């Protein structure tokens, strides 16, 4: 029986990062993976979807070439080639993880891993032991009872990335990051898209101003948005699919070629031996302490299977903290109130901290500033004037409570707010930090200036 210091179950952005950090710290490390190195994120999530969205963005630029003084006489899309490029990007990233495993001398054990008592793990009949076993098995597309996925007419995100032909009509159920990203992609390719969202606002976790702007932007490009709406039944007996949608006005039947179910995720915690080992679970999540230790010594869990935000960068951070704690390093628990969230539709969305509603509910007296990209020189020159930056400060102490952005490239801008909040930066410090001109990022400074009644350009 092979013995390791650390075995990681699952090789997504939580698992493989954990394994690399463990190896760096001198632990003899192995990682168990049943499918592809890199997990869902690299193979079926974060990376290939961004490749699809980039193709959509380029196609949009071609459609609007005359806005930039350019003449493009003939152009078209090749849906199959767009999908093929996305898969190629994913394959390249997965091979990159293989290289990193070899570089860091991490043993890759291929197969289905099941936890056993006594700090052991069974991989398709072969048993391995370790001083520490870290569960990082991630999550998959969640299925609703009234919206069962058949992989053909009712699909999840995996099928949405590799459809053999482009659908003429698509219904997207759910308007979280996955739903709106695919809605934008397929709309850009020419598919007639309808979004059905159960809650009153699209991207419901975001600040309401952000949600309203995205809905306006989507309607402007022809996406039909139905909020406070619920798919009650579906009929797949015909050539396409019919969905009965319940709204405040009554019931409406929508017809489409395909329904994309984007109603959240389900953790991969079944059939991995949690019950046999006695590891505590509550509401689909493995219970852990601040350092990702379960109730059973020697067993840990990170990423989507734990109660924190189900985001790739959160899983990576949790895994690093977990193994550094095992190594005896001084580590501080993650501040889950300072986790950036990003949505990569067009316009992009990025946010961190409290929404305006949340801040008011906590009793803060607020200073709020907004700066529209329509007043940004860089945005105007780039032809991307849609959206804004919104900042929220505590009026009493100047604490940066929240930052919410919607517009071109904002996912690359949010880290300033995350770092500022980590360093307990005040509004005046941001305001007096010189930002380069012309850039999209100076909109952050301008929004702060608006909060303190010092704005120059609006």
DSSP-derived secondary structure letter, 412: G
Is 437 annotated in the active site? yes
Helix and strand totals (H; E) in the chain? 14, 24
Cα separation of the two ends of the chain: 69
The string of DSSP letters for 329-377 reads: -------GGG--EEE-SSSEEEEEE--HHHHHHTT--EEEEEEEGGG-H
Longest dimension (CA), the chain: 69
Q: What does the DSSP 8-state code read for residue 33?
A: E
Q: Which of 313, 330, 428, 437 is catalytic?
A: 437
Q: Report d(CA 358, CA 425) in Å as an integer.
A: 20
**ω before 94 within 30° of 0 (cis)?**
no
Two tokens, residue 216: 């306006």
CB 11 within 8 A of CB 31: yes
What secondary structure letter does DSSP report for 414?
A: T
Range list of β-strands (E), 262-353: 265-267, 281-282, 285-286, 299-301, 341-343, 348-353
Q: Using CA atoms, how far apart are residues 207 and 265, in angstroms rounded to an integer? A: 22
Q: How far apart are CA 63 and CA 77, in angstroms?
A: 11
Alpha-carbon gap, residue 173 to 156, rounded angstroms: 10
Task: Show the CA angle centred on residue 283, arms to residues 279 and 285, nearest 5°.
Answer: 50
Return the closest-CA partner of residue 126 out of 274, 275, 305, 4.
Answer: 4
Q: Which residues pair with 134 in a beta bridge?
A: 8, 300
HSE of 208 in the Cβ direction (CA atoms, 13 Å)?
6
Query: Which H/E stretch holds residue 147?
Result: none
CB-count burial class (<10 Å; 0-12, 13-18, 19+) for 349: buried
Length of the chain: 458
Write out the DSSP string of 78-102.
Answer: -HHHHHHHHHHHHHHHHHHHHHHHH
| Distance, CA of 135 to CA of 306 (rounded, Å) | 10
Q: Which residues are catalytic?
A: 437
């Amino acid at each position: 029986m092979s013995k390791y210091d650390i075995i990681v179950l699952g090789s997504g952005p939580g698992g493989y990062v954990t394994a690399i950090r463990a190896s760096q710290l001198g632990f003899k490390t192995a990682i168990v993976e049943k499918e592809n190195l890199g997990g869902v994120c690299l193979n079926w999530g974060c990376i290939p979807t961004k490749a699809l969205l980039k193709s959509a963005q380029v196609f949009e630029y071609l459609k609007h070439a005359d806005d930039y003084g350019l003449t493009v006489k003939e152009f078209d899309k090749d849906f199959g080639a767009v999908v093929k490029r996305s898969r190629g990007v994913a394959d390249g990233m997965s091979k990159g993880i293989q290289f990193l495993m070899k570089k860091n001398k991490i043993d890759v054990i291929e197969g289905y891993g099941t936890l056993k008592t006594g700090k052991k793990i069974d991989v398709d009949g072969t048993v391995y032991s370790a001083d520490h076993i870290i569960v990082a098995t991630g999550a998959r597309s969640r299925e609703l009872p009234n919206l069962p996925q058949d992989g053909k007419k009712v699909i999840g995100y995996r099928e949405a990335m590799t459809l053999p032909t482009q659908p003429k009509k698509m219904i997207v159920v759910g308007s979280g990051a996955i739903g709106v990203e695919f809605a934008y992609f397929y709309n850009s390719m020419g598919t007639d898209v309808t979004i059905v969202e159960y809650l009153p606002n699209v991207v419901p976790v975001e600040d309401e101003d952000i949600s309203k702007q995205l809905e306006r932007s989507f309607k402007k490009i022809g996406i039909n948005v139905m909020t406070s709406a619920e798919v009650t039944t579906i009929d797949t007996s015909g050539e396409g699919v019919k969905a009965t949608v319940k709204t405040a006005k009554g019931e409406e039947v929508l017809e489409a070629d395909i329904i994309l179910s984007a109603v959240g995720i389900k953790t991969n915690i079944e059939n991995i031996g949690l019950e046999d080992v006695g590891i505590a679970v509550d509401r689909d999540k493995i219970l852990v302490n601040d350092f990702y230790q379960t109730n059973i010594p020697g067993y840990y869990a990170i990423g989507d299977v734990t109660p924190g935000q189900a985001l790739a960068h959160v899983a990576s951070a949790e895994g690093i903290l977990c193994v550094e704690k095992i190594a005896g390093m001084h580590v501080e628990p993650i501040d889950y109130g300072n986790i950036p969230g990003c949505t990569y539709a067009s316009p992009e969305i990025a946010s961190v901290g409290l929404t305006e509603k949340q801040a008011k509910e906590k009793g803060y007296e607020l200073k709020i500033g907004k700066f529209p990209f329509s007043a940004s020189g860089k945005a105007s020159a780039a032809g991307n004037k849609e959206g804004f930056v919104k900042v929220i400060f505590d009026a009493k102490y100047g604490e940066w409570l929240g930052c919410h952005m919607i517009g071109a490239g904002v996912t690359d801008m949010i880290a300033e707010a995350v770092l500022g909040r980590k360093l307990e930066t005040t509004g005046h410090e941001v305001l007096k930090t010189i930002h380069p001109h012309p850039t999209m990022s100076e909109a952050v400074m301008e929004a702060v200036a608006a909060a303190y009644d010092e704005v120059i350009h609006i």
